[in-house]
Chain A
Amino acid sequence: MTAAAGFDAERYLRLMGERLLVSGDRNRQRGPFGDTRLGNAAKALVAVDAIDAGLAQSVVDDYLTAGAMRESGGRVHRLMRFGPRSGPPAVPAAPTVSRLARCHGVLEEPSGTIECRYALLTSERVEIGVTWRAPPSRTPRRRQRGPHGPSAPHGTGVTATDDRGKSVSCSFTGGGSEFVMTGRFVSTDPLSVETAWLELDGTRLYLERPPALQPVKIAPLTNGSPAHRYLWHTLASGDRWHHNVDIESLIDVLIDAGALTLDDPVLDGVRYVANGRRGPSHPLRGASTGPQRLPETVPPEWRSVLTRTRPAGAQEGSLIVGVTTPEFDAGRVTITELLADGNGFSAEVAIEYNRGGNPFTAARVDESWVVWWAADDRGNWFRGDVGQWSGGGGAGQGTVEFHAALDRHATELRLMPATLRERAVITIPLDWDAEP
């Protein structure tokens, strides 16, 4: 079901903007990435084809500007519209795979050991995926975190040399604890893409071809109505910043637009999942306070997430993926590596958005808005949240974290970055390389 004929979405959004402005609610509803109650309503109406994204964004911009004008004292930088405008990417494009190679090796250093797992070589840069571990002599009791948190492994970086004799300085980017950090040594000065080996501070690492993967599939999302898909997609958005959209407000908007009915049975499932994500201290309208039976309208992926138990054996390890999707509704997604640590797993990813975006939510109505799902071959589904991330606007890269252990009996994982319209299905055989 899409919006009802005759529903004037621009009028609806503008009257909502007026109510928020008059009630002084314009600030309280702004999320950490510039999203607002009005913006979320606009996205919902775009999702059900009630309004063109450009027109919806212009309404949102109008009221953001009106709100800013009341707060700013007229400062230019605050009067400017929020969020990136349409146009060229704000940051250099994320690296796509030119050559991704396994490169097992360990650098023994006074500061600890650096285990190398892969090298990504492109015509613009070189990246070496590593895990740094503190020396065994450092025990948790003796070591205290410094005032500035853990320092980068191996000082500020390493020198990488290719088989043509070119050397570049690589800096560390990544994170973790004071005992273990994962990340990459990165140089924007490239090395030979064809090199047979790399030397890191004199330790030679031979480069091996990673296993070939099945072609990535791009699947249109057609299950349920556009309104249902929008609500499920919203619920799957990351909550890294404890930022939960008011799902009841969105339901109201979709009912007002005629895209949902009050008695739609799917709403039971939506509310159940939303309540589960918010916790019992924030009951939703219509939700009972006692234990609830899982509504039948909860889709399989959420059913799996909500009912899963910890597997008897949890997988630990790392494996190189090295795949870039064809361009789909989100843009192009590159998966470099998969890491599992017994409590969950993560994927190192990069995105070149085709409509601008950020990894957490769509601050602008017309941006790409990617959520992350994964499923193993044992029927388990996992919802991903963005962890460390850099970039913004047109591209970015970082980590997507799945907070549930991967069953060590699983032999295949499908990673599925998805927008409202399409998802990419990246099938990864779980042939683990090493301990992470």
Chain B
Amino acid sequence: MSGESWIGFPRAEATVECGGASHRVRWERGRLLTLDHEDPEAERALAALGGEPCACVALLDAWARYTTDVRMLVLGTRGGSDVIPPPDRADPFAGVMHVAGRPTGPAPLPGQAEGEAEARELERIASLLSLGGGLPRRLLATVAANWRERLLAPDGAEDEELSGVRARLEAALYGRALASLATWLEVNELELDFEPLPEDERPALSADPTGRLRARLPFGWMVDVWGRGLETIWGRFCLSAATSDGVHWELLTVGPDLADPAVIRVELPALPEPPGRP
């Protein structure tokens, strides 16, 4: 996804234990940056030559590895109070950096290597999904954006991998819409009928005579609305969010009475650049 497409996504920043110090990582316009490492490529080269692997750079590599992994949408936060706790391990990203020539230890028992590799991978995923500072949501928005591109591609109907994950994508959208609606309406369990829409159709939220909700949302809602943290505004549920410059916004919203949707137009002044490496 291009930098242009990330307009309107606020920066997010978290700290990482790296070499005995707290280092900052920042997400900005679709890219993850290590603010305390001038040259990640050089760090990788040093590690390849036997230097100490660097946690920040390993985090960059792990991030890049999972930006198209649909499992992240299954495992990651649904928003609000749904928080993934960080793993216990001090070096969850160890093993992510590709370091050639390192000793690998004794040969594992049959099945042991697979089990340990799976456990390590889950720890790594849990580490990414528990980074804090808004980074997990940016990661999930990135994964969702990458899959939306494939959904929109002209040859999407012939994309076998996409066919295999459609149910997971739909569930990812449903779960986040459900969590957002439950928080908005202040109910613990919500009956929600759900219809995924093509990206170019107008989303809607309605209720049947029994009060059962029916949401019609495109998968892109997860990127454009949920990814930006715009699920509710002024007590209204946001069905879509559009901006061309990150300053002027049009938000299609619906109130708790589920009456006709209304567009909210807001203007967000350009914010100053934060300190740190751009």
Contact = CB atoms under 8 A, between A and B. Distances in A.
Interface stretch (A15-23, A299-307, A365-373): A15-23
B75 A73 contact: no
B235 to A, nearest CB: 21
Interface stretch (A74-82, A155-163, A232-240, A336-344): A74-82
B171 A76 contact: no
Nearest to A12: B167
B115 A80 contact: yes
B92 to A, nearest CB: 7
A14 B83 CA distance: 20
Contacts of A62: 71, 74-75, 168
* Interface majority SS (helix, strand, loop, mixed), chain A: helix
Contacts of B159: none
Contact of A22 (B75, B175, B194): B175
Given A18-B175, A79-B126, A70 B84 contact: yes
A73 B122 contact: no
A317 B89 CA distance: 58
A225 to B, nearest CB: 26
B123 A79 contact: yes
A66 interface: yes
A7 to B, nearest CB: 12
Given A18-B175, A74-B85, A69 B194 contact: no
B175 A75 contact: no
Interface in B40-90: 71, 74-75, 78, 82-89
Among A10, A15, A18, A21, residue most surrounded by chain B Cβ atoms (within 10 Å): A18
Interface residues of A, number: 29
Given A22-B179, A74-B87, A74-B127, A69 B167 contact: no
Nearest to B125: A69
B130 interface: yes
Interface in B176-225: 178-179, 182, 188-189, 194
A74 B131 CA distance: 13
A87 interface: yes
A11 B82 contact: no
A11 B174 CA distance: 11
Nearest to B170: A11
Interface string B119-144: 11011011101100000000000000
A128 B86 CA distance: 53
A6 B118 CA distance: 34
B277 to A, nearest CB: 29
Contacts of A77: 119
A23 B120 CA distance: 28
A15 B127 contact: no
A195 interface: no
Nearest to B191: A19
Contacts, number: 92
A29 interface: no
Contacts of A435: none
A80 B126 contact: no
A122 B183 CA distance: 63
A69 B119 contact: no
Q: Is the interface of B mostly helix, strand, loop or mixed?
A: helix
Contacts of B83: 70
B106 interface: no
A70 B83 CA distance: 7
Contacts of B129: 69
A150 B54 CA distance: 59
Contacts of B188: 23-24
Contacts of A80: 115, 118-119, 122
A8 interface: yes
Contacts of A21: 78, 82, 175
A165 to B, nearest CB: 39
Nearest to A63: B74
Interface string A39-69: 0000000000000000000000011011001
A72 interface: yes
A18 B171 contact: yes
Contacts of A17: 171
Contacts of B168: 14, 62
B276 interface: no
B88 A73 contact: yes
Given A15-B174, A18-B174, A74 B92 contact: yes
B82 A74 contact: no
A66 B74 contact: yes
Contact of A74 (B88, B171, B174): B88
Q: Name which of A62, A63, A79, A87 has the most chain B CB atoms within 10 A of its CB.
A: A79
Nearest to A8: B167
B154 interface: no
Contacts of B75: 62, 65-66, 69
A64 to B, nearest CB: 11
B111 interface: yes
The winner among B92, B168, B194 for most chain A CB atoms within 10 A is B168
A74 B170 contact: no
A73 B170 CA distance: 28
A77 B182 CA distance: 32
A17 B74 CA distance: 10
A63 B171 CA distance: 11
A75 B194 contact: no
A24 B83 CA distance: 12
A1 B266 CA distance: 55
B189 A74 contact: no
Contact of B167 (A14, A71, A75, A76): A14
A52 B29 CA distance: 41
Contact of A11 (B78, B87, B88, B171): B171
B195 to A, nearest CB: 12
B171 A14 contact: yes
Contacts of B87: 72-75, 79
A141 to B, nearest CB: 54
A21 B179 CA distance: 9
Given A69-B122, A71-B85, A76-B122, 5 more contacts: A19-B189, A23-B182, A74-B130, A76-B123, A79-B123
15 contacts: A11-B167, A18-B78, A18-B171, A18-B178, A19-B189, A21-B175, A62-B71, A62-B75, A69-B122, A70-B83, A73-B88, A74-B88, A74-B92, A80-B118, A81-B118
